[in-house]
Amino acid sequence: MSPELLRHKLERAFAHMDVNGDGKIERDDLLGLGARILIGFGESPTSPAGSRLVEGFESIWRTLSAEIDAGGDGALSPEEFRTGMISAFAEGDRFDTAFRPAAEALAALCDADGDGLVDPAGFRVLLTAFGTAHDDVDTAFDRLDRDRDGAISSGELVEAVRQYYTSADPNAAGNWLFGPL
């Protein structure tokens, strides 16, 4: 197990979530990330799929602000985020209640035809919204498509999200969620 690997992934996750780049994560940052994702998919925030994603991101924010905002100021510093994510999610059991609904909403957006599979095009839209470089998207998809059938199941994508945010296992496929570390 590599705690340094998890710390590195969480630093990258902080950068994804700090949408305005001001060095802290606030509610508007998470909603801004959700808006970028919805725009990428051409989805309205008031549609059923859009509402599900917005509520998923709201759930993440409620959990983060309640459990890891040590300063109580409505903003998470990089240290608060990293320490809190490790205690609440990597060592705790909060993923299913806080992150899973958003991860499932993301998987549903990526699954354009509702067949339970995420194709490279849907995955590209998602990772582009997170700011992943074009070439890294292909690498990430290839690593997550373990059976090499040209698709990732929605369940595999949700599991990759869980592994990315919670696992210190250097062999976890989810380490590749956003491309090479």
For residue 138, pLDDT over 80 is answered with yes
For residue 147, pLDDT over 70 is answered with yes
Can you spell out the DSSP letters for 62-101? HHHHHHH-TT-SS-B-HHHHHHHHIIIIISSS-IIIIIHH
Burial of 105 (0-12, 13-18, 19+ CB in 10 A): buried
Q: Is residue 128 part of a domain?
A: yes
Do residues 5 and 163 lie in contact, with contact meaning Cβ atoms separated by under 8 Å? no
The pLDDT, as a whole number, for residue 165 is: 92
Q: Is residue 72 part of a domain?
A: yes
C-alpha distance from residue 17 to each of 33, 111, 122, 145, 160 (Å): 7, 23, 20, 25, 17
Q: Is residue 178 part of a domain?
A: no
The domain that holds 74 is classified in CATH as: 1.10.238.10
For residues 113 and 109, give the distance between their C-alpha atoms in angstroms, rounded to a whole number. Answer: 10
pTM for the predicted model, two decimal places = 0.92
Do residues 126 and 81 lie in contact, with contact meaning Cβ atoms separated by under 8 Å? no
For residues 33 and 16, give the distance between their C-alpha atoms in angstroms, rounded to a whole number. Answer: 8
The pLDDT, as a whole number, for residue 39 is: 97
Mean pLDDT (the chain, rounded): 93
85 is in which domain, residue-wise?
3-168
Buried b (16+ CB within 10 A) or exposed e, 87-97: ebbbeeebbee
Q: Is residue 176 part of a domain?
A: no
Q: Is residue 85 part of a domain?
A: yes
Q: How many domains does the chain have?
A: 1
Q: Is residue 173 part of a domain?
A: no
Buried b (16+ CB within 10 A) or exposed e, 22-58: eebbbbebbbbbbbebbebbebeeeeebbebbbebbb
Tens digit of each residue's pLDDT (9 = 90 or more) over 40-90: 999 999 999 999 999 999 999 999 999 889 889 999 999 999 998 888 888
Q: Which amino acid, residue 152?
A: I
Q: Is residue 177 part of a domain?
A: no
